Amino acid sequence: MPKARPLLRLQKIMADAGVASRRKCEEIILEGRVRVNEKVVTELGTKVDPFYDRVEVDGELIDRDAVDKLYLVLNKPRGYVTTVFDPEGRRTVLDLCKGIKQRIYPVGRLDYLSEGLLIMTNDGELSNQIMHPRYGVTKVYEVKVFGFVGELILKKIRAGVRIDGQLLKPQSVRVIKSLPSKTWLEFRLTEGKNREIRKLCEAVELTIDKLRRVAIEGLSIDGIKPGDYHFYTKKELLNALQIDKSGKKSSIPSQRYVSSKKTITPRKLEKKKKFLNPKDADSEEFKRYRKDQYYETLKKQKETLSQAMLSQD
């Protein structure tokens, strides 16, 4: 008796066909946008035969074999939405991928005001491997905050905070540059919770001026200008991400991204504070630069500058 072919989960088949990431495919199913053999399917546990069952998304037949897998690393600038479509009409990361005919989508996300490394692909299986918490993929961010960050504030960040029952705690954080009125920090994260750095910083009263992702494991944006992207093979990408052929975290010693920026020690930080007397980063004054007040603050500053220039005339 011939052995029956294994049935596959509907969201996996859709992801393999380049529709979207597996998580996004689950959302599409729940929205009632998928038909299997002419019937609408909204159950996530649905399994189908990829060779005989007809699967349509938004009325379009998908074909797993017709998709060439594509992998690229994009350096996302500020002012772009990490999605394939924005109902508000804002620019999306796909606008930066002109000339690419295949349907690709971002792996994970960076919010509208964030920038840096973003993987784009149509390989649903790889996307799931990168996003799944069990792989412990390390992501590296450089974050500029308003004010002076000393050892006391660093201790608060390293201790972590609990928000909505979740502990937000970085793998590590260090000062890489101290400016007269701002400080650059390097964060390393492994869990990748939604807006983790922004939530963590606000919880310890810090206000972010700029946030960029510079690396994921050994993959970095070095040499990629904002708005540009580089193509990778799947092998190159997996090697950089320390994931082996079977889809497991590699046991080979990690080729982690190492920044060329040196850590500014507590002694140097305290010395700078003593002579320059900067305002601490958790000062109430900097809250006006937060996302919900940012544009209003800039507007007021421009009005003040214009009035000053008029008075000089």
| Marked catalytic residue, from 49, 53, 95, 111 | 111
Query: How far is CA 98 from each of CA 35, 214, 228, 254, rounded to the nearest angstrom?
Result: 30, 23, 10, 34
Q: CA quadruple 293, 294, 295, 299: dihedral positive or negative?
A: positive
Q: SS3 letters for 127-142? A: HHHHHCHHHCCCEEEE
123 a catalytic residue: no
Phi-psi category of residue 243: left, alpha or beta, with phi > 0 → left and psi -120 to 50 → alpha? beta
Residue among 26, 28, 32, 33 at smallest CA distance from 12? 26
**CB distance 77 to 90 below 8 Å:** no
144 Cβ partners below 8 Å, 6+ apart? 182, 183, 184, 185, 208, 209, 210, 211
CA–CA dist 249, 134 (Å, integer): 9
CA–CA dist 259, 79 (Å, integer): 26
The beta strands (E) that lie in 160-238 are given as 161-163, 166-168, 172-178, 182-189, 208-216, 219-220, 229-231
Cα R_g (the chain), whole angstroms? 23
Residue among 31, 29, 30, 2 at smallest CA distance from 13? 29
**CB distance 203 to 193 below 8 Å:** no
Question: Annotated catalytic sites, by residue?
Answer: 111
